């Protein structure tokens, strides 16, 4: 075992000797100092739009990642070792005890290395294009206790498969499903198109904000369940949805925010370009027995533009785009549809700042900014922003009359419904 995590006696907090080599963490500070740094950054970058609220913190900012990806190799002593790729490289950093990862996942990885040696399963070597196991993904649920192990292999042939499955499930009976994913490509840390269920049902279920979510090997799902619950609860509550409100969940992924919104009684349309994510979203709607949400495999901007052209209206739009943020085309589509409220969930503060400027140009003003510490020990800051369409004052040319020269002011409507 390559133990790199220690306890700092002066602070009682965890320290990692891989900090400079790995890149998974970017802040080597005690947690209180991390929060001060993030709050100051949010205030500095976003206060021009609306003063940010106090950042929502974690009670225990360690071992929170419910998705753990691990790579393997044979070292100079002919032993199988495991770790992670250094940020933006193919250079492997050997570690067994990352303090961001779920502890059950670390225990499974330790057993996997022993079984690989016993069953003569070699890690895949990218240079020689030899070996079987490319990497593993372990996904865990804190609410249901279910655990999924994904073995990403170079070929579908898995030696002594039944005995291998029996050995690892006997050692870790909390594993509820094992999936072999076949990836014949050369790009690291990616999944192939073919899944072979080796054990269990091929997916796990998690619960959040009163909804159930099915998580497959390919599903996008937030990696910090404790903070995700706080993030999504804030996003939906600040929208103040009423039964029958018309809602669009743009960039909906597997439908998490949209399903939580639908549970409040709103009529929701989830829009997502990734077809696999839409399949998961449809399954999640059925799992939660919600018939007031529909999913569309389309570009969200084009979807909203079509609605506007057809004379349709919308009360609230949720958007949770990738780190690159949204696009000018999407903002233009928002301007055509003119929802009363926009709830922007952002995972990168730099692109959020840029997009809030674009949204201001089409008449939306930030009413609330709530930072959330989704990724302790990193520089990432998640934010929920509530924006409302501004009341527009129109002052036409004035015509004097016998009663005097009076200003005539007409305020724009706040809703198209």
Q: Is residue 28 within 8 Å of 21, Cβ to Cβ?
A: no
Closest residue by Cα to residue 382 from 226, 267, 265, 166? 226
User: What does 339-383 look like in DSSP terms, one character per residue?
Assistant: -SEEEEEES-HHHHHHHHHHHHHTTEEEEEEEEE--STTSS--EE
Q: Residue written as tokens 């520089």?
A: 379
CA-based end-to-end distance of the chain? 63
- SS3 of residue 4 by DSSP: coil
Q: Is residue 304 within 8 Å of 336, Cβ to Cβ?
A: yes
User: Which segments are annotated as binding site for S-adenosyl-L-methionine?
Assistant: 222, 251, 272, 320
Distance CA 379, CA 371 (A): 13
Distance CA 290, CA 415 (A): 27
Closest residue by Cα to residue 307 from 272, 339, 275, 266? 339
Q: Is 347 a catalytic residue?
A: yes
Tokens of 36: 């001060």
Distance CA 381, CA 392 (A): 33
User: Which segments are annotated as binding site?
Assistant: 222, 251, 272, 320
Catalytic residues: 347
């Amino acid at each position: 075992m390559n133990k790199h995590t220690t306890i700092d006696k002066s602070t009682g907090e965890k320290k990692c000797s891989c900090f400079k080599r790995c890149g998974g963490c970017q802040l080597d500070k005690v947690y209180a100092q991390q929060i001060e740094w993030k709050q100051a950054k949010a205030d500095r970058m976003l206060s021009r739009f609306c003063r940010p609220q106090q950042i929502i913190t974690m009670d225990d900012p360690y071992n929170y990642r419910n998705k753990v990806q691990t790579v393997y190799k044979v070292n100079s002593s002919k032993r199988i070792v495991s770790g992670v790729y250094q940020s933006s490289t193919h250079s492997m950093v050997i570690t067994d005890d990352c303090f961001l990862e779920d502890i059950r996942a670390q225990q499974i990885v330790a057993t996997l290395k022993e079984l690989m040696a016993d069953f003569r399963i070699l890690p895949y070597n990218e240079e020689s294009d030899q070996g079987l196991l490319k990497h593993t993904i372990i996904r865990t649920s804190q609410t249901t206790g279910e655990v999924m192990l994904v073995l990403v292999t170079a070929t579908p042939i898995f030696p002594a498969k039944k005995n291998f499955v029996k050995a690892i499930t006997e050692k870790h009976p909390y594993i509820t499903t094992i999936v072999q994913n076949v990836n014949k490509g050369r790009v690291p840390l990616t999944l192939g198109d073919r899944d072979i269920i080796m054990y269990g049902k091929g997916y796990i279920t998690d619960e959040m904000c009163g909804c159930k979510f099915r998580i497959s090997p390919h599903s996008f799902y937030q990696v910090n369940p404790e903070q995700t619950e706080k993030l999504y609860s804030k996003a939906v509550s600040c929208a103040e949805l009423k039964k029958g409100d018309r809602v669009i969940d743009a960039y909906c992924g597997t439908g998490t925010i949209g399903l939580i919104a639908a549970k409040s009684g709103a009529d929701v349309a989830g829009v997502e370009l990734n077809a696999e994510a839409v399949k998961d979203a449809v399954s999640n709607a059925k799992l939660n027995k919600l018939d007031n949400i529909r999913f569309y495999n389309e570009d969200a901007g084009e979807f909203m533009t079509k609605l506007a052209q057809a004379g349709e209206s919308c009360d609230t739009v949720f958007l949770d785009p990738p780190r690159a943020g949204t696009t000018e085309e999407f903002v233009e589509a928002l301007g055509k549809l003119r929802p009363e409220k926009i709830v922007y969930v952002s995972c990168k503060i730099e692109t959020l700042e840029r997009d809030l400027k674009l949204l201001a140009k089409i008449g939306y003003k930030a009413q609330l900014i709530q930072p959330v510490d989704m990724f302790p020990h990193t520089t990432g800051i998640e934010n929920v922003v509530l924006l409302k369409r501004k009341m527009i004052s129109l002052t036409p040319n004035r015509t004097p009359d016998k009663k005097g020269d009076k200003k005539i002011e007409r305020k724009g409507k706040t809703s198209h419904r």
